[in-house]
Structures are given as C-alpha cells and as structure tokens.
Amino acid sequence: MDFKGKVVIITGASSGIGAATAVKFAKFGAKLALVGRNVENLKETAAKCENENSLTPLLINVNLADESAVSNIISEVLGRYGQLDVLVNNAGIIENGTIENTSLDQFDRIMDTNVRSVYQLTMLAVPELIKTKGNIINTSSVCGLRAFPNVLAYNISKSAIDQFTRCVALELAPKGVRCNSVNPGVIVTNLHKSGGMNDEAYEKFLEHCKITHALGRAGDVEEVANAICFLASDLATFTTGMNMPVDGGRHAMCPR
C-alpha cells in the first residue's frame, strides 16, 4: 500500500480507530488532515504520524455537529495541499437507550454526528475526489448489519451509513470514485466509556466479547485501520459499495 503524494482527511482522528488509522496512513506516506474535537489528543496523533513519515499533518479542530464549521474543512485542506484523494468519515458517538427510555434529543445528537455530518462532509468533498478519482471510507459498525438492544439510535445511525455507502458508491462509480465502509465489532477504544459505561462495566463487556465474537475476543484498532487503508488503496480498485465486517465473525453469529 502506497499513499505517497495522496492527501487523506480523517475525522475522529484524536483517538481510537481514527488515531490508529492516521498513523497507518502516515506509515504509507500520506499527507494528512486530522479532524477532531480534542486538540491535545490531535497533537499527540499528529506527532506519531510525523514520526512515521516526517510530514506535519494539518490539524482541524471542529465539532462535526456544527454545520458552519464542517463547511470550512475542505477549504482548509485545499489551502494546505491543493487536492484531496481519500476521505475517511470515522467520527462517531454512542449512547444507551431503548424505545422505552430514549429521547428525541438523544436521537438528534447521534444522528447529527454519525449521519448528518458524514452526509455534509462527503457532499463537500466529492467535487475534489472526482478530480483525483479518489475514494471514501465510512466507519460504520456491526450494529448497522445486525440488531442489538439498548443502543437504538446508534443502530439506526449505522444502518443509515451502510445505505449511504452503497448509494454513494453507485452514484460516483461512473466518475471513478469508490465508496466503502468498514463495520467493526467491539473494538477496544474509549467509545463506550465516552457513551457512559464505567470501568467495571466495560471490563465485563470486554469479557463477554469472548462469547459474542466468533474469534473469542474484542478487536484492536490496528485491525480496523488495516482494513480502512486496504479499501482506500490501489489493492482494492475493483471494490466499491461494500460494507466490510471487521468484527471477529460477530455478524455471522446467531443466538442458540
């Protein structure tokens, strides 16, 4: 995989899958634009990337739920690099809630970050991706492929991303732009703790992954980053519209 001379935007790059993906792209020579809300964490990610390829990433500190802020991302990237080759829509949030105890506020928060911002940023990026015959990778979830209780709004948002991926892939295929998603299972990140899970509950949750994932464990951010880089690379030039599980086989399992 070689991304020398390629410009890659990664949202949610301040931690977890986004940070690992940024470092992986840097290892393969990419010029990076790292988008996130936590400035200090973004700087840490940038330092790791710079150690890999001696290129200083562009840091863009925005809340992706802020429509006016998102509209400036592409102009900043073009101002620095003059082109765009890969868009990785990775940022996302999760909150617990069933149809009995959720709220419209929760639905709006999750949909604004997980879906609306992806729709907006992709829409703005497409003209530049057409010029370079670039591609788009969306971070979805096994929750987009299967139903799980107590994360209703999150499930809906990820199903929306999967359909968005397929539709955009069909629309842009005639113009040489590919669009795919990765659908991780449980990956060891701060996502669930940020969503309200305490340390004890999270440890039990990871232990339970030995049962809920066919490979007998939760995943690692590196494993998802590898899949993202593969789909974005010239090794996957005939792959588009794919929702790719990176979930230790969880999508294939049924309760007994």
Q: What is the pLDDT of residues 54-65, one digit of tens each?
A: 999 999 999 999
Is the per-residue pLDDT at 172 higher than 70? yes
Supply the pLDDT for residue 50.
96
The active-site residue out of 81, 119, 154, 202 is 154
Q: What is the pLDDT of residues 76-109, one digit of tens each?
A: 999 999 999 999 999 999 999 999 999 999 999 9
Count of all residues that appear for the chain in the document: 256
Section 134-138 average pLDDT: 98
Supply the pLDDT for residue 1.
87
pTM above 0.75, yes or no: yes
Section 121-131 average pLDDT: 98
The question of whether 81 is a catalytic residue gets the answer no
Angle at 205 between CA 204 and CA 209, to 5 degrees: 115
Strand order in the sheet with 86-89: 58-61, 31-36, 7-11, 86-89, 135-139, 178-184, 243-246
State the chain's mean pLDDT as an integer.
95
